[in-house]
């Protein structure tokens, strides 16, 4: 019995040693590829034509909305933040901060992530918009950004990604097309009588992520207040349907080089997997997602104004430059293959483009396709390592 226990103990230690080795190898590989400046120089470099008093900003609050290409934006921010050794607001585990509930710093932010006399630089993970809590943890000069998407495309994507027919509306055979065959008032009644899937996912998803509770979805006064609040709080609302334009505007806001906005789209469905909807079906989705529709139309108008302020000819040239950077990146890095799925009768609608790096892809390519959970674990590990080093030094220096 004693020998078996000893063997089990040795096997357990060996297992955890192997897991740690694999994890550290992944972490060290990411550090290498992000800190190797020579690899980044292989991308074409373009500086935006901006004023000489432009100061780069790395204090950023990004409200990550669901199914709005937010993972692509998040990857851009995490790459720069990791490379520069910035401090991220992170949960104790996983990649959600409080969501689907409103969050506060004492309950939902991980421990041992920030040393004394330091401050957070970036907040880029899923949360529900809680502005007072954001102000308590983020520097006063932080840029606040979020991203929105055409409500029809967002709901279509969300409905299939989260299998909402089965998980939310409790009907496995209820495809989106079948749901939209009902009268609009019946669809609204059906959806608003159901608790959100996981208390998090359902209709008006952008409004929910941005802080509105479900009972307010048909309250016009509350909707007006939400629109006014978000307009006042956010420095820039990106539009997923026009991502290249959005990222040029973001580079200008943050005073970053344009090549740092290079991206490979993450968690993107195949074009063939997007629902073909009639005008009537689109109208029903918009009426169901009434708050999201209002928000999208409002911020699309603001987006148009920002384009005009930037200069139409100027932004056209910069968008073409960013497109060229992305084309060069993709040609060097990847091939795209469909991921097979077997869910539901409309299973083809679940297909996500499977990102596959070329066999001899340059090392820097890995950073652009790093999965959120793995990237987040590495960020958390590094911040806790830095916290411990600083804490140990403080203890030694104060020792008497």
Give me the pLDDT at residue 29, please. 58
User: What are 251-270's pLDDT values in tens digits?
Assistant: 999 999 999 999 998 766 65
Containing 239, the helix (H) or strand (E) segment is: strand 236-239
pTM score, whole prediction? 0.85
Residue 22 placed within a domain: no
Residue 14 placed within a domain: no
Gap between the Cα atoms of 165 and 222, Å rounded: 28
Q: 24 or 201: whose pLDDT is higher?
A: 201
Residue 359 placed within a domain: yes
Residue 45 placed within a domain: yes
How many domains does the chain fold into?
A: 1
pLDDT for 59 beyond 70: yes
Residue 24 placed within a domain: no
Give the lowest-confidence range in 3-12, 73-82, 97-106.
Answer: 3-12
Strands 60-63, 122-123: pairing is parallel
User: What are 339-396's pLDDT values in tens digits?
Assistant: 554 443 343 344 556 678 898 888 889 899 999 999 999 999 999 998 888 888 888 8
Q: CB-based contacts of 185: which residues, under 8 Å, 6+ apart?
A: none
Give me the pLDDT at residue 380, please. 94
Give me the pLDDT at residue 112, please. 87
Give me the pLDDT at residue 349, please. 43
- Mean pLDDT, rounded, of the chain: 86
pLDDT for 238 beyond 50: yes
Instruction: Average the pLDDT over 43-60 and give the result.
Output: 73
Give the lowest-confidence range in 33-42, 125-134, 181-190.
Answer: 33-42
Question: What helix, strand, coil percent values describe the chain, rounded to 5?
Answer: 55, 10, 35
User: What are 318-343's pLDDT values in tens digits?
Assistant: 999 999 999 999 999 987 665 554 44
Q: 99 or 390: whose pLDDT is higher?
A: 99
Instruction: Average the pLDDT over 69-94 and give the result.
Output: 96
Cβ of 207: how many Cβ atoms within 10 Å?
A: 28
Give me the pLDDT at residue 194, please. 94
Give me the pLDDT at residue 275, please. 78
Give me the pLDDT at residue 400, please. 80
Residue 192 placed within a domain: yes
Give me the pLDDT at residue 41, please. 42
pLDDT for 111 beyond 90: no
Give me the pLDDT at residue 26, please. 55
Say which CATH number the domain at 209 has.
3.40.50.300
Q: Which two tokens stand for residue 26?
A: 């992944």
Residue 103 placed within a domain: yes
Query: What is the Cα gyration radius of the chain?
Result: 23
Range of the domain at 354: 36-397
Gap between the Cα atoms of 28 and 54, Å rounded: 33
Kindly indicate the confidence band of residue 197, based on its pLDDT and cuts at 50, 70 and 90: very high
User: What percentage of the chain carries pLDDT values higher than 90?
Assistant: 68
Give me the pLDDT at residue 399, please. 85
The number of C-alpha atoms within 13 Å of 228 and in the hemisphere containing its C-beta is 6
User: What percentage of the chain carries pLDDT values higher than 70?
Assistant: 80
Q: 25 or 389: whose pLDDT is higher?
A: 389
User: What are 204-232's pLDDT values in tens digits?
Assistant: 999 999 999 999 999 999 999 999 999 99
Give me the pLDDT at residue 32, please. 57
The number of C-alpha atoms within 13 Å of 207 and in the hemisphere containing its C-beta is 31
Residue 17 placed within a domain: no
Gap between the Cα atoms of 196 and 193, Å rounded: 9
pLDDT for 142 beyond 90: yes
């Amino acid at each position: 019995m004693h020998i078996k226990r000893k063997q089990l103990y040795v096997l357990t230690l060996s297992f955890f040693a192997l897991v740690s080795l694999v994890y550290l190898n992944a972490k060290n590989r990411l550090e290498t590829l992000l800190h190797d400046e020579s690899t980044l120089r292989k991308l074409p470099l373009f500086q935006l034509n901006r004023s000489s008093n432009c100061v780069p900003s790395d204090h950023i609050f990004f409200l990550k909305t669901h199914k709005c290409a937010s993972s692509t934006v998040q990857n851009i921010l995490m790459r720069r933040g990791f490379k520069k050794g910035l401090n991220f607001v992170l949960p104790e585990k996983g990649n959600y901060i409080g969501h689907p509930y409103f969050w506060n710093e004492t309950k939902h932010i991980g421990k041992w992530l920030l040393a004394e006399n330091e401050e957070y630089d970036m907040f880029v993970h899923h949360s529900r918009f809680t502005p007072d809590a954001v102000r308590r943890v983020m520097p006063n000069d932080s840029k606040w950004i979020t991203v929105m998407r055409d409500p029809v495309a967002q709901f279509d994507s969300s409905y299939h990604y989260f299998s909402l027919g089965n998980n939310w509306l409790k009907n496995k055979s209820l495809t989106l097309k079948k749901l939209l065959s009902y009268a609009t008032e019946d669809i609204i009644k059906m959806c608003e009588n159901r608790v959100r899937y996981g208390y998090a996912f359902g209709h008006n998803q952008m409004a929910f992520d941005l802080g509105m509770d479900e009972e307010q979805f048909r309250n016009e006064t509350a909707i007006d207040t939400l629109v006014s609040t978000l307009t006042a709080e956010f420095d820039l609302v990106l539009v997923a349907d026009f991502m290249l334009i959005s990222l040029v505007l973001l580079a200008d806001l943050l005073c970053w080089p344009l090549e740092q906005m290079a991206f490979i789209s993450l968690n993107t469905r195949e074009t063939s997997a997007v629902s073909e909807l009639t005008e009537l079906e689109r109208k029903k989705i918009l009426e169901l997602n009434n708050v999201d529709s209002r928000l999208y139309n409002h911020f699309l108008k603001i987006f148009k104004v920002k384009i005009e302020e930037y200069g139409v000819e100027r932004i056209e040239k910069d968008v073409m430059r960013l497109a060229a950077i992305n084309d060069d990146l993709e040609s060097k890095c990847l091939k795209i293959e469909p991921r097979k799925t077997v869910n539901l009768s409309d299973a083809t609608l679940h297909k996500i483009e499977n990102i596959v790096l070329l066999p001899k892809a340059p090392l820097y390519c890995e950073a652009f396709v790093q999965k959120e959970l793995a990237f987040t674990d590495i960020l958390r590990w590094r911040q806790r390592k830095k916290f411990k080093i600083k804490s140990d030094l403080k203890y030694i220096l104060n020792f008497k």
